[in-house]
Amino acid sequence: MAFPYSSGDVLTAADLNKSSGLVLVKSQTVGSAVSSVTVTDAFSSTFDAYRIIYTGGTGTNDVPYRFRFDASHTVGYFYALTYSTYTGAGPVAIGGNNLGYINYSGGGLKPVVDMTVLDPYSASSTKEITTRCRYATVYGMTIGHVPISSSFTDFQIYTVSGTFTGGTIRVYGYNNG
């Protein structure tokens, strides 16, 4: 059945599967005074692209947050943050060269992560990451590149310093169609 649908159309499962845009894959409530949260079974062959959003929590420190697929890869993450301040200073660039994480993946006293992750489950594909980062006076965007030939199902978000409490990490998959 071709989109857009018309009144009286009988929709099949295939039609509905194609019509869903972002599909909620996982919703994880964050506990109290944690330094990191690992979300398992977030990525699969069902979707190639994902959106990860964390809101509603509180942090002890107004600092950036980091992202990684797992702790076993201590290298293989490349990123660049470009930011300005709310007073208009900048832009400024900060790079990360072959580290074990994507720094500046979010942040703040009321921490927010708003990230797109491409191809995390495909062992043969380079993983690409785009995310906003706001903390203190920093307002920026981070582009990440993870040329690790592994298939990942999990990810971890953690703060550079201090702890965070509460809120929800939601993972959405972009419908492959």
Partner 1 sequence: MADVYTRDELVALYPDGTVSVQVDDEVTPMTTDEWSAWIDAQVGIEKPANDELP
Residues that bind partner 1 (CB under 8 A): 28-40, 60-63, 86, 109, 135-137, 160-163
CB of 119 to partner 1, least distance (A): 23
State the distance between the two ends of the chain, measured CA to CA, in whole angstroms: 13
* Residue whose CB is less far from partner 1, 32 or 45: 32
* Residue whose CB is less far from partner 1, 5 or 86: 86
Provide the 10 A C-beta neighbour count for residue 21.
10
* Residue whose CB is less far from partner 1, 33 or 92: 33
The amino acid that residue 168 corresponds to is T
d(CA 39, CA 43): 10
Q: Give the up-direction half-sphere exposure of residue 8: CA atoms within 13 A in the CB hemisphere.
A: 0
Angle at 91 between CA 51 and CA 85, to 5 degrees: 75
CB of 108 to partner 1, least distance (A): 10
Q: Please tell me what DSSP assigns to residue 112.
A: B
Rg (CA), the chain: 18
CB of 103 to partner 1, least distance (A): 12
CB of 125 to partner 1, least distance (A): 26
* Residue whose CB is less far from partner 1, 21 or 31: 31
* Residue whose CB is less far from partner 1, 20 or 137: 137
d(CA 13, CA 25): 18
* β-pair partners for 93: 82
CB of 19 to partner 1, least distance (A): 30
3-state class of 15 per DSSP? helix
